[in-house]
Structure 1
């Protein structure tokens, strides 16, 4: 009975403590580190914390968690670029770009992209911290970013944050505050957006210009996702997949020797030119295309994609990406390739089918990042 009483007291205390946990609305922690990028060693400062989003009355209605890296011993900070980084979703934290791409630390993974034990991070020799400072921003309800209740415990209207226009509006205000606090108005400023982040930075760059008088020096879109385009069956959507097919096929070494033996940066312009000036018009012709032209386009398509002319013709020149992930290595190794990162390889239950059983890259990423 005594033990039960003690357990009950502990549970009540834990429950009370949990109920009192609150997100710090405006705080930061700063640490100093050393790294080496491209053979150059230097120190940098990491600042992580939260910064509010305010309503028109000046009350905090949300707080965004961020991580900010700036190189130390910079003579003229005004000339040093500031990069503002987002991932996509929408609904994804900036962790993917942060510890897998541009940050000073990246996950410990093997050559095939899978996590190694003990889990952790290691210096990123390809980080951009050598040439630019960078802040990784987590929109509301991603990472540790959350809406903030008012004095009466009422949450703000979700429509202020969740929507294409609402998203860019509050983020533009947040960026204005961040840039002002860090005294970076004179610095060249760029925004990186990955996946839906590509859609986000399109609107965000305009919102910053129109409502915050902040004119960016450029935007960087990493595998941008245009969801309006995805929802169409227009020739442009099908055609612009081809350069991606070319890059994936080149990586897996299944292009014809004349292309495979070249550098990827040399053959991509060829693939892009063919996709825009030949494939797209051919797709637009639909049933009016002649058999001769259709065969000529399919043959060239095959050389740039690593697919057979036969399967391209079977799809009337309109090859779905899902089929490509399944088909590219079907006759080579029987493996599939990843959806979000086609360097990853998967193995389905059967080689037959029109698409992979699962996303090969996610089996690694979800393991690594969580």
Structure 2
């Protein structure tokens, strides 16, 4: 458990102090804390998934994490969908979203859960309720049981008593708690020898790498058959837009090219061909130019500027003013400025209208406010009204889990260059049965596909066990109907191939 040293020190202090030892007034409080009753709800349901009719049990329940003295410290809510009759040899997949601070609503009600909320598939705003909540034939229940996890501070999950959220808010702290929940669920459900998959979206891919380290990094291993990375961010330095850092301009350029093509600001036979050209330009002439800094020649600058304009759809005049280094935020505002529109960060297919067209950055992200209402309504309706989960807590779709501790295991300060990708490389090298699936949207600036490619092609990653798939949408590619089905089929095939 987290903070063992602190708990041990507290125990020693209690034993060494006669005053504390002889005080009976503290005992009832301790008993009250250890008597925490976990909340839960369960319902038998059925549906057709992947063309198969499946009976399943949906269970929402608090998994209680305790200190070494048995005191309940946190309740992490899992929502599991288990096929009936139960089969211990059947795969089980643990899933979560990212943030950090995001509940699992997005993957659960948008991609892989047995029910989904229907929002516009063509990058339009989801409008006002009621939102259709439909059976989801693209759910993975035909090939795997599903367990969605909401870490502390997300969904209905929460701390207990005097425990502070900061005890669970951090790359390593969070991963340890999620790994503990997985171990509890496996024990309580008799699934230790089941094939196991782990999946996350966005920061959930960061969490996946850290959880893999917690599950497989010691001798008391929980070995995995596969890791599913959706909209991947592992190497935070690869996309950092910090003054003096050049790599982020390289890794976002192919996403700018895809977006310019989508909105008619560039021409090419296909998005695949155009982004491949952009990749080669980014790691070749553009990277060389950036690395030379002010030592680049006037001729080289002119050649790079012309190509950069072709790929980004931005004018050479604007690129010159930006010193041929365009941040994502400026790109969202500038690309369609002549139309009075901005483009989205999570999904640059979406467009929005700002207060005016004069600013440097957008007022908001149209690809987030275009979908949030539908998902929030759907998860609350399904959990409370369909499954009967009773709670006075609000479901936290996106919440504040600050301050977040970005240090990795051992207290190493990696804020200057945070990279959890090596955890996955080590796991691949030490577990010959583990594979990685990577799903990326062309129009995603939150976790650009080229940055994911960069992170997973460094030294130490067996490339024959990493599978890549691309989608014609953005960060949450499943909001597009065609891509939700394609993602489902791709992940289904990945699980079956174990």
1:183 CA displacement: 3.2
1:213 CA displacement: 0.8
Q: What is the aligned partner in structure 2 of residue 219 from structure 1? A: 227
**Quick one: distance in 1 between partners of 2:67 and 2:253?**
45
Q: What is the aligned partner in structure 2 of residue 11 from structure 1? A: none
Q: What is the aligned partner in structure 2 of residue 135 from structure 1? A: 147
CA RMSD of aligned residues (A): 2.8
Q: What is the aligned partner in structure 2 of residue 49 from structure 1? A: 61
Mapping of 1:54-203 within 5 angstroms?
54-72=66-84, 78=89, 80=91, 82-111=92-121, 112-115=124-127, 117-149=129-161, 155-203=162-210
Give SS of 2:61's match. Answer: strand
Checking the alignment, whether the CA contact within 8 Å between 1:86 and 1:192 is kept in structure 2 is: yes
Checking the alignment, whether the CA contact within 8 Å between 2:42 and 2:57 is kept in structure 1 is: no
1:24 CA displacement: 4.6
**Quick one: distance in 1 between partners of 2:364 and 2:65?**
38
- Residues 282 and 147 from structure 1, CA distance in 2 versus in 1: closer, same or farther, beyond 3 angstroms? same
- Residues 23 and 122 from structure 1, CA distance in 2 versus in 1: closer, same or farther, beyond 3 angstroms? farther
1:271-313 Cα offsets, whole Å, 9 max, x none, are 3333233323321211111222223223333333333343233
**Quick one: distance in 2 between partners of 1:249 and 1:87?**
28
Worse-matched range after superposition: 157-166 or 60-69: 157-166
Q: What is the aligned partner in structure 2 of residue 351 from structure 1? A: 357
Mapping of 1:328-347 within 5 angstroms?
328-331=335-338, 333-347=339-353
Checking the alignment, whether the CA contact within 8 Å between 2:73 and 2:160 is kept in structure 1 is: yes
1:178 CA displacement: 1.5
Worse-matched range after superposition: 319-328 or 51-60: 51-60
- The one of 215, 224, 235 equivalent to 1:208 is 215
Checking the alignment, whether the CA contact within 8 Å between 1:107 and 1:115 is kept in structure 2 is: no
Q: TM-score, normalising length from structure 1?
A: 0.80
**Quick one: distance in 1 between partners of 2:85 and 2:259?**
41
**Quick one: distance in 2 between partners of 1:339 and 1:360?**
8
Give SS of 1:348's match. Answer: coil
**Quick one: distance in 2 between partners of 1:191 and 1:93?**
16
- Residues 308 and 128 from structure 1, CA distance in 2 versus in 1: closer, same or farther, beyond 3 angstroms? farther
- The one of 363, 372, 382 equivalent to 1:366 is 372
Q: TM-score, normalising length from structure 2?
A: 0.61
1:145 CA displacement: 0.8
1:239 CA displacement: 1.1
Give SS of 1:300's match. Answer: helix
Structure 1 unpaired stretches of 5+: 1-21, 150-154
Checking the alignment, whether the CA contact within 8 Å between 1:83 and 1:134 is kept in structure 2 is: yes
**Quick one: distance in 1 between partners of 2:371 and 2:46?**
26
Q: In the alignment, does 2:334 pair up with 1:315?
A: no
- Residues 43 and 199 from structure 1, CA distance in 2 versus in 1: closer, same or farther, beyond 3 angstroms? same
- The one of 300, 311, 325 equivalent to 1:304 is 311
Checking the alignment, whether the CA contact within 8 Å between 2:153 and 2:165 is kept in structure 1 is: no
- Residues 108 and 178 from structure 1, CA distance in 2 versus in 1: closer, same or farther, beyond 3 angstroms? same
Number of residue pairs aligned between Structure 1 and Structure 2: 336
Q: What is the aligned partner in structure 1 of residue 259 from structure 2? A: 248
Q: In the alignment, does 2:238 pair up with 1:238?
A: no
**Quick one: distance in 2 between partners of 1:43 and 1:274?**
52
**Quick one: distance in 1 between partners of 2:191 and 2:273?**
37
Structure 2 unpaired stretches of 5+: 1-34, 377-498
Q: In the alignment, does 2:29 pair up with 1:29?
A: no
- Residues 301 and 83 from structure 1, CA distance in 2 versus in 1: closer, same or farther, beyond 3 angstroms? farther
Checking the alignment, whether the CA contact within 8 Å between 1:27 and 1:51 is kept in structure 2 is: no
